[in-house]
A and B are shown apart, each in its own frame.
Chain A
Amino acid sequence: DIELTQSPDSLAVSLGERAAIKCKSSQNILYSTDNKNYLAWYQQRPGQPPKLLIHWASTRESGIPDRFSGGGSGTDFTLTISSLQAEDVAIYYCHQYYSTPWTFGQGTKVEIK
C-alpha cells in the first residue's frame, strides 16, 4: 500500500499570510506513460464532506480560488494557500489514486493565528 505522510499535522497562519502543507508518498506516483502525478488535495470544513481542490497534483478544480495551488512530483508534493482567508479554516488531505488501495494522508488542520 502507498502511504502518504503529511506535515505538519496542524498550523496556525495569520489572515492574508501564506500556508503550505507537504505530502510525502512512500512510492513514486508519477505515471511515466502520461507524465501525470496521481495525487489530489481535498478540503474538509467541520461537519462537511471533503471537497476536491486539486487533481493531477497541480490542476485546480473548477470554481476553486486561485489562492490554492499544488506542486511537486514523484514522491513530494505541496499544497499552498497564498493568502489565507477565514473560510479556509479546515482540514486538508492529500490522496493518491495511482494504485489501489487508494489512500489518504492523515490530514493537516489549518487555523487562524
Chain B
Amino acid sequence: AQKVTQAQTEISVVEKEDVTLDCVYETRDTTYYLFWYKQPPSGELVFLIRRNSFDEQNEISGRYSWNFQKSTSSFNFTITASQVVDSAVYFCALSEARRGYSTLTFGKGTMLLVSP
C-alpha cells in the first residue's frame, strides 16, 4: 500500500524566514508521481508541482523550491523569504496508477502560519 507521511503538523514562522516542509513516501511502484498542493482557508486545493519518479532534478519556482531524493524517499518543499500569504495547509501526495487512471494518496498536511 502507498503511504505519505508529513511529520510536521504545524509550523510557525515570522515573515521573511525560510521554511522547509518535509514529505516522506512509501510505494512499491517503480513509476510514480509526487505532488504538492496548497489549501488556503477558502478550501480549494491549489496545485503547486508534479514530479515523476525518474526525474530527481531539484526545481525552483520563484520563492518555492523542491528537493526530491529517491534514496531517502523524500520530496521536501522549501519556501524562501516566507510571506503572510503563504499561510495555508500544504499537502504532499503520491499517485497510484490503477488500470488506466490514477488516484492520489495524500499526507495529513502541514499547517504553515506566517506571522508579520
User: Real complex partners, A and B?
Assistant: no
